[in-house]
Amino acid sequence: MKKLNIDEFVDALSQAYAHWQAPVITLLSNKGATPYEVLVSTVLSLRTKDEVTAAASVRLFERARTPRQMLLLDEKELQQLIYPVGFYITKAQRLKEISGILLDRYNGAVPDTLAAPLELPGVGRKTANLVLIEGFGKAGVCVDTHVHRISNRIGYVKTKRPDDTEMALRRKLPRKHWIRYNELLVAFGQVICRPISPFCSRCPVAHMCRRIGVDKHR
């Protein structure tokens, strides 16, 4: 198989994307979510299914859409609003802490940089990059489990950890693809390129894929 042409790969996924459900944070961003709402929803989304994140975000934003409003919520009420997202008790505490820091240091605004959000409790590189992309429309390289798995599966990178994948993509992936790469691969990974037994028979990029680590497929 010839070397992967990443432009052709991204173009093929972009054409197929119309038939897939957009990731939850992209959907919220497209509906006009503020950077703070993108940050909050991304925190809620960790280890949580998209449909659960979406419902929890709607309930929460009916009561609190700003850091100040978040701090006014009783923590028990906040837990009830976001339940049943994964680790909802810890996440409720984190949202309170994050909101307080944003008010104290940034006058309630979410910084439009990669470095500053990484100083917030519970915010890692995946979250910080996604807020940059979906909250501000700025270029970032957001690597979640789908991006890490698929980028290695197609043979574009050879890495062991998501953070390593991010750094490899920053070196190799053309910057023009940075903003959409996560959105496309998350949707692709949820529908077609599943972790176990992917649907290779109806994959729009099967002819480009090296199927590294794929033992069984449909």
* 59-60-64-65 Cα dihedral, nearest 10 degrees: -90
- What single-letter amino acid sits at 132? L
φ, ψ for residue 122 (rounded to 5)?
80, 5
The domains of the chain, with CATH numbers, are: 6-21+141-208 (1.10.1670.10), 24-136 (1.10.340.30)
Report cis status (omega within 30 of 0) of the bond before 84. yes
pLDDT at 2 over 80: no
Q: What pLDDT does residue 1 have?
A: 73
H helix or E strand, kind and range, residue 76: helix 75-82
Its pTM stands at: 0.94
pLDDT in tens, 173-206: 999 999 999 999 999 999 999 999 999 999 999 9
Encoding tokens for residue 170? 């920053």
Q: What pLDDT does residue 151 have?
A: 98
pLDDT in tens, 3-60: 899 999 999 999 999 999 999 999 999 999 999 999 999 999 999 999 999 999 999 9
